[in-house]
A and B are shown apart, each in its own frame.
Chain A
Amino acid sequence: MWNRRLTLTILLALLLTIVPVHAQDAGGGGTLIGAFDVGPGGAPKAIPFMDTAGRTWLSKIWSPLISWNADMSALEPQLATEWSSNEDSTVWTFKLREGVLWHDGETFDADDVVFSLNLALNPDAATNFPGFSSLSRESVASITAVDPYTVEIVLNSPNPRLPFFMIFAWVLPEHALKDLNPADYQTTDWFFTNPIGTGPFMHDEYVADQFWALVPNPNYFRGAPKLDRLINRYFADETSALLALESGEINFTYVSGDVALRLQEEGTYQIYDGPSGVTNYFIFNLRNPVFQDVRVRQAFLYAIDRKAIAETVLKGTATVVPCISAFPSMWPDASELNDYAYDPAKASELLQEAGYDTSASFELMTYYNNQFHLDAMAAQQAFLAAVGINIVPVAQDVPTYNSYFYTGEGWDISYRGVGVNVGNFPFSFYEPGGQPTTDGAPLAGQLFPELQALIDAARIESDADAYLGLLQDICKFQNENALEGYMWTAVRFGAGTSNLQDFYWFPAAGGGPYEDHAELWSVTE
Chain B
Amino acid sequence: MTDATRTPSSAAQGVTQLDVHDRPQKNRALRRFMRHRLAILAVIVLAVIAATSILAPVFAPYPYDKIDLAATAQPPSVAHLFGTDRVGRDILTRTLYGGQVSLLVGMGATAIATLIGTVIGALSGYYRGWVDTVLMRITDTVMTFPSIVIMLTLAALLPRSVWNIVLIIGLLSWPGVARLVRAQFMSLRESEFVMAARCLGVPDRRIIVVHIFPNVLAPMIALITFSVGGAILTEAGLSFLGLGVAPPTPSWGNMLEAARNLDILKNLTWTWFPPAAMTVLTVLCVNFVGDGIRDAIDPRLVL
> Do A and B interact directly, with beta carbons closer than 8 Å?
yes
Contact residues of A with B, CB < 8 Å?
237-239, 242-243, 246, 256, 258-259, 262, 305, 308-309, 312-313, 369-371, 374-375, 377-379, 381-383, 385, 393-395, 397, 400
Query: Quick check: is B144 within 8 A (CB to CB) of the other chain?
Result: no
Once bound together, how far apart are the Cα atoms of A242 and B265, in whole Å? 12
Q: Which residues of A contact B26 (CB under 8 A)?
A: none
Q: A313-B72, A394-B160, A394-B246 are in contact. Are A378 and B67 (CB under 8 A)?
A: yes
Residues of chain B within 8 A of A371, CB atoms compared: 86, 258, 260-261, 264
B156 interface residue per 8 A CB criterion:
yes
- Docked Cα-Cα span, A375 to B72, in Å, equals 11
Provide the residues of chain B in CB contact with A382, threshold 8 Å.
65-67, 87
Whole-angstrom distance between the Cβ of B80 and the nearest chain A Cβ: 16
Known: A256-B261, A258-B263, A312-B72. A395 touches B246 (CB 8 A): yes
**Is B86 in contact with A397, judged by CB distance below 8 angstroms?**
no
Provide a sorted-by-A list of 28 A–B residue pairs whose CB atoms are within 8 angstroms: A239-B260, A242-B262, A243-B262, A256-B263, A258-B86, A258-B261, A259-B262, A312-B70, A312-B72, A312-B88, A313-B87, A369-B242, A370-B261, A371-B86, A375-B85, A375-B86, A378-B67, A378-B248, A379-B67, A381-B65, A381-B248, A383-B67, A385-B65, A393-B248, A394-B159, A394-B160, A394-B246, A395-B246
C-alpha gap A246/B262 in the complex (Å): 11
Pair B263/A313 contact, Cβ less than 8 Å: no
- Whether B27 sits at the interface, judged by CB under 8 Å, is no
Chain B contacts for A378, CB-based, 8 A: 65, 67, 87, 89, 247-248
A217 CB → nearest B CB, Å = 35
Docked-complex contact A313 and B69, CB < 8 angstroms: yes
> Which 8 pairs from chain A and chain B are nearest by CB?
A382-B67, A258-B263, A312-B69, A371-B261, A369-B242, A259-B263, A378-B248, A308-B69
Q: What is the CB-to-nearest-CB distance from B99 to chain A, in angstroms, rounded to a whole number?
A: 19
Complex Cα distance, B157 from A400, in Å, reads 8
- Does B267 belong to the interface (CB within 8 Å)? yes
With A379-B87, A381-B248, A394-B159 as known contacts, state yes or no: A309 contacts B260, CB within 8 Å. no
Report B241 CB to chain A, min CB distance, Å: 10
Q: Which residues of A contact B263 (CB under 8 A)?
A: 256, 258-259, 262
Looking across the interface, which residue of chain A has its beta carbon closest to that of B242? Answer: A369
List 10 additional A-B contacts (Cβ < 8 Å) besides A256-B263, A375-B86: A258-B86, A259-B261, A262-B263, A312-B69, A312-B72, A371-B86, A375-B87, A378-B247, A382-B65, A400-B157
Judge whether B247 and A374 touch: CB under 8 Å. yes
Q: A375-B86, A379-B69 are in contact. Are A393 and B246 (CB under 8 A)?
A: yes
Residues of A within 8 A of B242 (CB): 369, 395
Measured CB to CB, the nearest residue on chain A to B157 is A400
- Within the assembled complex, what's the spacing in Å between the Cα atoms of A343 and B93? 28
Contacts A239-B262, A379-B69, A382-B67 given; does A393 touch B247 at CB 8 Å: yes
Closest to B264 in A: A371
Give the interface size bracket for B toward A.
Answer: 20 to 34
Cα-based distance from A259 to B264 in the complex (angstroms): 9
Closest A residue by C-beta to B63: A382
Write the nearest CB–CB distance from B249 to chain A, whole angstroms: 9
Interface hits, B204-263 → A, CB 8 Å = 242, 246-248, 258, 260-263
Q: Which residues of B contact A (CB under 8 A)?
A: 65-67, 69-70, 72, 85-89, 156-157, 159-160, 242, 246-248, 258, 260-265, 267
Chain B residue numbers with a CB within 8 Å of A377 are 248
Q: Looking at the assembled complex, report how far the CB atom of B89 sits from the nearest CB atom of chain A, in whole angstroms.
A: 7
Which residues from A are CB-within-8-Å of B160?
Answer: 394-395
Across the interface, name the chain B residue whose C-beta is closest to A313: B87
The complex places the Cα of A160 from the Cα of B66 at a distance, in Å, of 50
How many Å lie between the Cα of A378 and that of B94 in the bound state?
Answer: 13
The CA of A259 and the CA of B261, in the complex, are separated in Å by 9
With A and B bound together, what is the CA distance between A49 and B272 in angstroms?
41
A242 / chain B contacts, CB cutoff of 8 Å: 262
Q: How far is the CA of A202 from the CA of B24 in the complex (A)?
A: 83
A402–B263 Cα distance when bound, in Å, is: 30
CB distance from B51 to the nearest CB of A (A): 27
A393–B85 Cα distance when bound, in Å, is 18
Q: How far is the CA of A242 from the CA of B261 in the complex (A)?
A: 10
> Known contacts being A375-B86, A378-B65, A378-B89, is A239 close to B261, with CB within 8 Å?
yes
Cα distance, A308 to B71, chains bound together (Å): 12
A308, B262: Cα distance in complex, Å: 24
User: Complex Cα distance A377/B70, Å?
Assistant: 17
**Which residue of A has the minimal Cβ distance to B71?**
A312
Q: Which residues of A contact B87 (CB under 8 A)?
A: 313, 375, 378-379, 382
- Which residues of chain A are within 8 angstroms of B72 by Cβ–Cβ distance? 312-313
A305 and B86 CA atoms in complex are apart in Å by 16
A393 and B246 CA atoms in complex are apart in Å by 8
Q: Which residues of B have CB within 8 Å of A258?
A: 86, 261, 263
Return chain B residues, CB-CB under 8 Å to A309.
Answer: 69
Nearest-neighbour CB distance to chain A for B72, whole angstroms, equals 5
Bound-state Cα–Cα, A382 to B85, Å: 14
- Residue on B nearest A314 in the bound complex, by CB: B86
- Name the residue on B nearest A305 (C-beta): B69
Interface centre among B66, B67, B85 (most CB of A within 10 A): B67
- Considering the chains assembled together, what is the distance between the CA atoms of A246 and B263 in angstroms? 12
By a CB distance below 8 angstroms, the chain B residues around A395 are: 160, 242, 246
A298 to B261, CA, bound (A): 34
Bound complex: CA A246 to CA B261 (Å):
14
**Which of B85, B88, B261, B265 is most buried by chain A, counting CB atoms within 10 A of its CB?**
B261
Min CB gap A167→B, angstroms: 32
